[in-house]
């Protein structure tokens, strides 16, 4: 609520100010603005940390004062309140003494002495003894003393665990009611088990017959079961084995995430004993790995939505499982309404709605009181630790915590860290590997493994490999590991408490991907990951106070915070015209629906009666956003379909195309500038792709040009798909070198995103919103008067990413619905 928002907004603003200040001094460094700061020296780094800390504490204390009436606080809250005041004073005081490092982690001797331990929530700790993290830290202290003299001076701050995070245990997440009587199965033991034995060891196995019977007895079934109990991998198999795939019918299972769809399908293919794509397959955007024979099909929720266009009654399926329903993604939410409708006129279709959390009642009500099938969980207790005071830099705190755990906790016991995205994961991976290298043989082996959406599949399987007994595995994951993917052997969870989430404001038209605090429900899911194979520990990099007062109970469903353009076009194309009365589990804001319809009208996808036009119907064929689909279709008129689908593919890869190793930054920047087009970034992307094509898609060329080969390969795949779709809507492949024609085609899709230079900064035409060209753009240094951007991104401040130089006089012809009236 108010506290969370204001605190983060304030922090973001402060960060932006600081980073801008840094960059002003050195205008030539384009990257300083966009990249996370790389600190020149340890000193500068500490300065920044100190500033941040004071700022954050001040913010919190002021906000506290505004919001809470001290006298009305409970005793515990008062202590917490006083404690934070005290920390602030201490930080300031210590600042003068010049010792930043120590106080930064709240190790001030005078501060800790005065801090009452009473604010540990004793009643939450069964037995009340509260095993203290501090005790375990003693081991590190010994280690430090022993190693100290071997460390060179200039490294001593950075590489040893001088920095520690003070955690405090305040509560314990109880295990499931029926605590398991058998000893837990370790990951190593599991490795020895055959696939068959592993399958039988999963909690769902005991309910196999009951489950099959329930599906036979009821058309719709809500399934609720702890993450890792075997819902996703086992239930479709059980039904397959029980003969639900007779008459060439399929069992479908949707996943909100691409990685999950792929990884689960590959696991199930292995269990069934077939090649992926044969009996078991998957389908995700721009990639179909299924065949005639596929009986169990995993797919993203978005792909199933698209299937409705070709098969409105899902005739080829006998069972459809909407999995991970609790995630409440936009596509899953829309699917609820659609499958509910279909179930009415297809009594032979079985529907399973499965969820890892306690929303089952809500789902049951929505599906006309469908019965709930509960799979009792098998969960061990998890100790919850909080930091004593807020952490300013959770990335840094995560690195320290990982090492702290590794050096103090016994083996086996792997670590799972929840991060917000690929870039953050890569940063941490780099920082960790640096430290591991430095520590060398003084610590046991630590295997660092990432998992995020764009990770190639051969890397994905690595996280499932059992850890050798002498080593520890640390998995750096995005939210995907919260419920979609289960990794065995995790004993420690580190939860910084953030997630990357999109937000959309229909009135301002601003769409953003922001890092926001998670909800309590998500925090508890994350903690639960530590207790799957034995008792575990969860380290939250935020305070108990924060958990209690600042986190929302439940996350907002995506449908209420995202742009609906895509989905509205899709629904219209499958004949659902009355969107206002569509059966939503939770309806989207009306303004968002209206904004989507307006945009589609401006694009020419709808006529004035709100009906789909021929153009709109063609646009719906493309799995891209409406603006991009329009751009692709418009390319026909401008004779540049070849170039436009290349540009569309390059924009769609959604990962960085260039890389910039620190040591070679100068070369990388030069190489990158070699691709620059004077008229804008879309053309730069085109240049990269075309030159790669000229080398016959050479890997070597990518390396020499500081271009990510992996990303390029994906762009090539996407381009092939778009090419096939062009054929389907009967558009000829045409090519041109006229960059004006290409820019006009782009403008035909993105005319909403027009911005005008106005006294040194840009203002968007539609909403008079102030923004700026991203420093990575070729137009950054010498901006034209009018630009059209691909998207707005929020890094250190708001930027337009991928911009082209346009002539506003084009627009009344290119987008008459929209610009005629504005003239």
| Residues at the interface with ligand ADP (CB under 6 A) | 202, 225, 227-234, 263-264, 266-267, 464, 486, 488
C-alpha to C-alpha distance for 591 and 197, rounded to whole angstroms:
53
Stretch that binds Mg ion, among 25-33, 231-239, 495-503, 539-547 (CB under 5 A): 231-239
Q: How far is the CB of 265 from ligand ADP (least distance, A)?
A: 9
C-alpha to C-alpha distance for 490 and 483, rounded to whole angstroms:
14
Q: State the CB neighbour count (10 A cutoff) for residue 36.
A: 13
Instruction: Give me the 28-47 binding string for Mg ion, x by CB under 5 A, dash otherwise.
Output: --------------------
Could you say which of ligand ADP, Mg ion, none residue 486 binds, taking C-beta under 5 to 8 angstroms by partner kind? Answer: ligand ADP
Residue number with CB closer to Mg ion (328 or 540)? 328
Question: Between the CA of residue 378 and those of 152, 327, 525, what are the distances in Å?
Answer: 49, 21, 14
Could you say which of ligand ADP, Mg ion, none residue 364 binds, taking C-beta under 5 to 8 angstroms by partner kind? Answer: none
Residue number with CB closer to ligand ADP (165 or 264)? 264
Residue pointed to by tokens 């995430």: 257
CB 283 within 8 Å of CB 330: no
C-alpha to C-alpha distance for 374 and 39, rounded to whole angstroms:
52
Q: Does 169 bind Mg ion (CB under 5 A)?
A: no
Q: How far is the CB of 264 from ligand ADP (least distance, A)?
A: 6
Q: How far is the CB of 203 from Mg ion (least distance, A)?
A: 12
**Helix, strand, coil shares, percent, the chain, to 5:** 50, 15, 35
Give φ, ψ of 514 to 5 degrees.
-120, 155
Q: State the CB neighbour count (10 A cutoff) for residue 120.
A: 19
Q: How far is the CB of 145 from Mg ion (least distance, A)?
A: 46
Stretch that binds Mg ion, among 180-188, 228-236, 337-345, 800-808 (CB under 5 A): 228-236
Residue number with CB closer to ligand ADP (205 or 676)? 205
Query: Is residue 385 exposed (0-12), middle (13-18) or buried (19+ Cβ within 10 Å)?
Result: buried
Q: How far is the CB of 377 from ligand ADP (least distance, A)?
A: 9
Could you say which of Mg ion, ligand ADP, none residue 230 binds, taking C-beta under 5 to 8 angstroms by partner kind? Answer: ligand ADP
Q: How far is the CB of 385 from ligand ADP (least distance, A)?
A: 25
The residue nearest Mg ion at its CB is 232
C-alpha to C-alpha distance for 151 and 154, rounded to whole angstroms:
8
CB 308 within 8 Å of CB 346: no
Residue number with CB closer to ligand ADP (388 or 473)? 473
Residue number with CB closer to Mg ion (169 or 232)? 232
Residue number with CB closer to ligand ADP (121 or 271)? 271
Residue number with CB closer to ligand ADP (68 or 205)? 205
Residue number with CB closer to ligand ADP (228 or 281)? 228
Stretch that binds Mg ion, among 226-234, 554-562, 590-598, 805-813 (CB under 5 A): 226-234
Q: How far is the CB of 22 from ligand ADP (least distance, A)?
A: 43
Residue number with CB closer to Mg ion (30 or 204)? 204
CB 529 within 8 Å of CB 490: yes
Closest CA to 583 of 254, 359, 336, 314: 336
C-alpha to C-alpha distance for 657 and 650, rounded to whole angstroms:
8
- Residues with Cβ within 8 Å of 341's Cβ and at least 6 positions away in sequence, in order, are 583
Total residues interacting with Mg ion, rule: CB under 5 A: 1
3-state secondary structure of 322: strand
- Residues with Cβ within 8 Å of 43's Cβ and at least 6 positions away in sequence, in order, are none
The first and second tokens of residue 374, run together, are 């509960």
Q: How far is the CB of 231 from Mg ion (least distance, A)?
A: 5
Residue number with CB closer to ligand ADP (201 or 560)? 201
Burial letters 73-85, b for 16+ CB under 10 A, else e: eeebbebbbbbbe
Q: How far is the CB of 343 from ligand ADP (least distance, A)?
A: 22
Strands 536-540 and 754-758: unpaired
In the region spanning residues 492 to 551, those forming contacts with Mg ion, defined by CB under 5 A, are none
Q: How far is the CB of 243 from ligand ADP (least distance, A)?
A: 21
Residue number with CB closer to Mg ion (229 or 753)? 229
Q: How far is the CB of 263 from ligand ADP (least distance, A)?
A: 4
CB 764 within 8 Å of CB 771: yes
Q: How far is the CB of 233 from Mg ion (least distance, A)?
A: 7
Could you say which of Mg ion, ligand ADP, none residue 14 binds, taking C-beta under 5 to 8 angstroms by partner kind? Answer: none
Could you say which of ligand ADP, Mg ion, none residue 350 binds, taking C-beta under 5 to 8 angstroms by partner kind? Answer: none
Q: How far is the CB of 486 from Mg ion (least distance, A)?
A: 7
Could you say which of Mg ion, ligand ADP, none residue 626 binds, taking C-beta under 5 to 8 angstroms by partner kind? Answer: none
Stretch that binds Mg ion, among 48-56, 232-240, 326-334, 725-733 (CB under 5 A): 232-240
Residue number with CB closer to ligand ADP (464 or 638)? 464
Q: What is the 3-state secondary structure (H, E, C) of 726-773?
A: HHHCCCCCCCCCCHHHHHHHHHHHHHHHEEEEECCEEEECCCCCEEEE
Ordered strands of the 280-284 beta sheet? 287-289, 280-284, 296-300, 250-255, 317-322, 350-355, 220-225, 372-375
Residue number with CB closer to ligand ADP (164 or 263)? 263
CB 126 within 8 Å of CB 405: no
DSSP one-letter code for 118: G
Residue number with CB closer to ligand ADP (203 or 557)? 203
Could you say which of Mg ion, ligand ADP, none residue 244 binds, taking C-beta under 5 to 8 angstroms by partner kind? Answer: none
- Residues with Cβ within 8 Å of 610's Cβ and at least 6 positions away in sequence, in order, are 577, 597, 601
Binding test (CB under 5 A) with Mg ion, winner from 232, 401, 677, 764: 232
Residue number with CB closer to Mg ion (230 or 413)? 230
Q: How far is the CB of 188 from ligand ADP (least distance, A)?
A: 14
Burial letters 160-178, b for 16+ CB under 10 A, else e: bbbbbbbbbbbbbbebeee
Q: How far is the CB of 204 from ligand ADP (least distance, A)?
A: 7
Could you say which of Mg ion, ligand ADP, none residue 387 binds, taking C-beta under 5 to 8 angstroms by partner kind? Answer: none
Instruction: Give me the 452-491 binding string for Mg ion, x by CB under 5 A, dash otherwise.
Output: ----------------------------------------
C-alpha to C-alpha distance for 92 and 114, rounded to whole angstroms:
17
Residue number with CB closer to ligand ADP (528 or 626)? 528
Could you say which of ligand ADP, Mg ion, none residue 225 binds, taking C-beta under 5 to 8 angstroms by partner kind? Answer: ligand ADP
- Residues with Cβ within 8 Å of 792's Cβ and at least 6 positions away in sequence, in order, are 510, 511, 512, 771, 798, 799, 800, 801
Stretch that binds Mg ion, among 38-46, 66-74, 225-233, 665-673 (CB under 5 A): 225-233
Burial letters 539-556, b for 16+ CB under 10 A, else e: bbbbbbbbbebbbeeebe
Could you say which of Mg ion, ligand ADP, none residue 171 binds, taking C-beta under 5 to 8 angstroms by partner kind? Answer: none
The first and second tokens of residue 1, run together, are 């609520």
Q: How far is the CB of 522 from ligand ADP (least distance, A)?
A: 15
Phi-psi region of 656 (alpha: psi -120 to 50; beta: other; left: phi over 0): beta
CB 511 within 8 Å of CB 565: no
Stretch that binds Mg ion, among 79-87, 224-232, 494-502, 751-759 (CB under 5 A): 224-232
CB 473 within 8 Å of CB 414: yes
Residue number with CB closer to ligand ADP (422 or 486)? 486
- Residues with Cβ within 8 Å of 339's Cβ and at least 6 positions away in sequence, in order, are 314, 320, 322, 351
**Site residues for Mg ion per CB under 5 A:** 232
């Amino acid at each position: 609520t108010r506290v969370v928002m204001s605190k983060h907004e304030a922090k973001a603003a402060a960060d932006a100010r600081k980073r801008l200040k840094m960059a002003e001094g050195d205008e030539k460094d384009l990257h300083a603005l966009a990249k996370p700061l790389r600190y020149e020296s340890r000193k500068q780094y500490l300065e920044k940390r100190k500033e941040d800390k004071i700022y954050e504490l001040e913010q919190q204390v002021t906000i506290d004062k505004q919001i809470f009436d001290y006298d009305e606080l409970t005793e515990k809250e008062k202590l917490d309140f006083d404690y934070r005041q005290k920390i602030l004073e201490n930080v300031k005081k210590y600042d003068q003494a010049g010792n930043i490092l120590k106080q930064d982690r709240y190790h001030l001797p005078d501060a800790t002495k005065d801090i009452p331990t009473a604010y540990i929530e004793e009643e939450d700790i069964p037995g009340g003894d509260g095993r203290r993290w501090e005790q375990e830290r003693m081991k590190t202290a010994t280690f430090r003393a022993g190693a100290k003299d071997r460390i060179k001076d200039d490294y001593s701050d950075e590489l040893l665990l001088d920095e520690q995070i003070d955690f405090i245990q305040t509560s314990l997440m109880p295990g499931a009611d029926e605590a398991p009587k058998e000893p837990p199965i370790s990951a190593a033991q599991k490795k020895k088990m055959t696939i068959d034995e592993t399958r039988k060891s999963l909690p769902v196995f005991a309910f196999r017959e009951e489950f099959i019977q329930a599906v036979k007895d009821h058309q719709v079934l809500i399934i609720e079961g702890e993450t890792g109990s075997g819902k996703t991998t086992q239930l479709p198999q059980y039904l397959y084995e029980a003969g639900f795939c007779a008459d060439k019918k399929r069992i479908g299972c949707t996943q909100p995430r691409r990685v999950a769809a792929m990884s689960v399908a590959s696991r199930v293919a292995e269990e069934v004993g077939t090649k992926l794509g044969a009996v078991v397959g998957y389908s995700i955007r721009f990639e179909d790995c299924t065949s005639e024979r596929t009986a169990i099909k995993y797919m993203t929720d978005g792909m199933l939505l698209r299937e409705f266009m070709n098969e409105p009654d899902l005739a080829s399926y006998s069972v459809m499982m909407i999995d991970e329903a609790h995630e409440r993604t936009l596509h899953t939410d829309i699917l609820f309404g659609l499958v509910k409708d279909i179930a009415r006129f297809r009594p032979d279709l079985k529907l399973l709605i499965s969820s890892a959390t306690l929303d089952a009642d809500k789902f049951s009500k929505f599906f006309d009181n469908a019965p709930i099938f509960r799979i009792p969980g098998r969960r061990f207790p998890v100790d919850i630790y909080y930091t004593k005071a807020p952490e300013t830099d959770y990335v840094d705190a995560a690195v320290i915590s990982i090492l702290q755990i590794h050096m103090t906790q016994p083996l086996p016991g792997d670590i799972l860290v929840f991060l917000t995205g690929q870039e953050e994961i890569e940063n941490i991976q780099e920082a960790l590997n640096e430290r591991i290298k430095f520590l060398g043989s003084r610590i046991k082996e630590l295997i660092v493994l990432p998992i995020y959406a764009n990770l190639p599949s051969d890397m994905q399987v690595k996280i499932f490999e059992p850890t050798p007994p002498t080593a520890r595995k640390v998995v750096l994951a995005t939210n995907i590991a919260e419920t979609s993917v289960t990794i065995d052997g995790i004993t420690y969870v580190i939860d910084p408490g953030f997630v990357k989430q999109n937000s959309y404001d229909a009135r301002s038209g601003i769409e953003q991907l922001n890092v926001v605090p998670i909800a309590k429900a998500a925090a508890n899911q994350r903690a639960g990951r530590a207790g799957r194979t034995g008792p575990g520990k969860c380290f939250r990099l935020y305070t108990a106070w924060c958990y209690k007062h600042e986190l929302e109970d439940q996350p907002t469903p995506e449908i209420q915070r995202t742009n609906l353009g895509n989905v509205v076009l899709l629904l219209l194309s499958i004949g659902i015209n009355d969107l206002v009365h569509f059966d939503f589990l939770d309806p989207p804001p009306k303004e968002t629906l209206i904004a989507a319809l307006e945009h589609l009208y401006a694009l020419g996808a709808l006529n004035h009666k709100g009906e789909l036009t021929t153009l709109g119907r063609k646009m719906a064929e493309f799995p891209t956003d409406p603006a991009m689909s329009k751009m692709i279709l418009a390319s026909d008129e401008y004779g540049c379909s070849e170039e436009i689908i290349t540009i569309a593919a390059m924009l769609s890869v959604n990962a960085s195309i260039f890389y910039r190793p620190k040591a070679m930054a100068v070369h990388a920047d030069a190489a990158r500038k070699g691709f620059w087009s004077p008229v804008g970034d879309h053309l730069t992307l085109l240049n990269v792709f075309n030159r790669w094509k000229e080398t016959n898609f050479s890997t070597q060329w990518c390396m020499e040009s500081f271009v990510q080969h992996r990303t390029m390969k994906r762009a090539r795949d996407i381009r092939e798909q778009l090419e096939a779709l062009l054929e389907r809507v009967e558009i000829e492949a045409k090519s041109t070198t006229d960059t004006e024609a290409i820019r006009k085609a782009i403008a035909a899709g993105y005319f909403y995103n027009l911005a005008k230079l106005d006294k040194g900064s840009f203002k968007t035409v539609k909403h008079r919103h102030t923004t700026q060209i991203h420093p990575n753009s070729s137009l950054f240094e010498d901006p034209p008067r009018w630009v059209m951007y691909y998207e707005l991104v929020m890094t250190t401040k708001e930027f337009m990413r991928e911009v082209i130089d346009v002539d506003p006089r084009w627009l009344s012809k290119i987008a008459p619905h929209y610009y005629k009236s504005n003239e």
